[in-house]
Amino acid sequence: MKKKQVLVACGAGIATSTIVNGAIEEMAKEHQLKLDLIQIKITEVGGYVDTADLLVTTAMTKKEYPFPVINARSFLTGIGTDDTRKKILEELKK
Amino acid sequence: MSELFFDESVILLDLECSAKEEVLTTMGRNLVNKNLVKESFIDAIIAREFEFATGLPTAGISVAIPHTDVHHVNRKTISMGVLNETVDFGVMGDDRETTPVKLVFMLAMDETHSQLSLLQQLMQVFQSEETLQYLVTEKDKTTIKQLIKAKVNCDSLEGDEKE
């Protein structure tokens, strides 16, 4: 299976995306998935539209992308984390 | 990588603010006065908050974690503000909604991508309704400092008297 390119983005690319990045790394390890994880600012997503398989973000996106977008605020608040993990995992395993 | 600065002087209690700009300006100004961030930090953090809101509705008390680009920062700092009355912040990732914030953790980060454990520990604080409740009622800054230090990477915290 091709290594999936996963974008992890937030507003500034320094705080919340770091948390989300860590959570996905953990998931990948647990499920033995090889990922190409890229942590960026949401404004940089445009540069990856041709290569990315998934965007996980805590920032809002008004744009439409050719790949699925998952909101990962739950990793920060602890509310609904299981549901978010499930959604991400489903995409990673596709 | 500089050590994280956190002491009583960056814990602001009983803030009387009626809007998020006022909260950000008051807390940011304190950091500028202490030379922990550059003057440009204040405008930058306000602009960032409008563009990418940082309000987090938690199980109990809503929290906001305003932050901005690393180049406005002199020294890595977490500043905590407790508001007398809640102030509406936009909800992170959803600009149609606001959340009544009572507790603000202003993050002055000086590097990208490499502070995972610090941030994870901080998020653990937000995820404990009990801790949040405690933080908004406690009036002793030293007690608050000790609590946060116990939860957030105490090894790398500075601003403490040597024991």
d(CA A30, CA A85): 12
pLDDT at residue A50, as a whole number: 95
Residue with tokens 């002793």: B140
pLDDT in tens, A35-82: 999 999 999 999 999 999 999 999 877 788 999 999 999 999 888 999
Residue of chain A nearest B110, judged by CA positions: A14
CA-to-CA dists, residue B130 to A81, B9, B14, B42, B127, angstroms: 19, 24, 19, 31, 9
d(CA B27, CA B56): 18
Q: Give me the numbers of helices (H) and strands (E) for chain A, helices first please.
A: 3, 4
Q: Under DSSP, is residue B90 helix (H, G, I), strand (E, B) or coil?
A: strand
pLDDT in tens, B4-36: 899 999 999 999 999 999 999 999 999 999 999
Q: Under DSSP, is residue B51 helix (H, G, I), strand (E, B) or coil?
A: helix
Query: Mind telling me how many Å the CA of A61 is from chain B's nearest CA?
Result: 8
| Nearest CB to B52 within list A22, A59, A76 | A59
Residue of chain A nearest B121, judged by CA positions: A19
Q: Under DSSP, is residue A43 helix (H, G, I), strand (E, B) or coil?
A: helix
On whether ipTM exceeds 0.90, the answer is no
Q: Under an 8 Å CB criterion, which residues of A touch B?
A: 10-16, 18-19, 21-22, 39, 42, 57-60, 71, 73, 75-79
pLDDT in tens, B26-78: 999 999 999 999 999 999 999 999 999 999 998 789 999 999 999 999 999 99
Query: Mind telling me how many Å the CA of A47 is from chain B's nearest CA?
Result: 19
Long-range CB contact pairs, B35-38, < 8 A, 24+: B35/B74, B36/B5, B36/B10, B36/B73, B36/B74, B36/B75, B36/B77, B36/B108, B37/B72, B37/B73, B37/B74, B37/B75, B37/B77, B37/B108, B38/B72, B38/B73, B38/B74
Looking at beta carbons, which residues of chain A come within 8 Å of B54? 11, 16
Q: Model-level pTM?
A: 0.89
β-pairing verdict for B55-56 and B62-64: antiparallel
Amino acid code (one letter) for B54: T
pLDDT in tens, B104-154: 999 999 887 667 888 888 888 888 899 999 999 999 999 999 999 888 865
- B115 to A18: CB separation less than 8 angstroms, yes or no: yes
d(CA B117, CA A26): 13
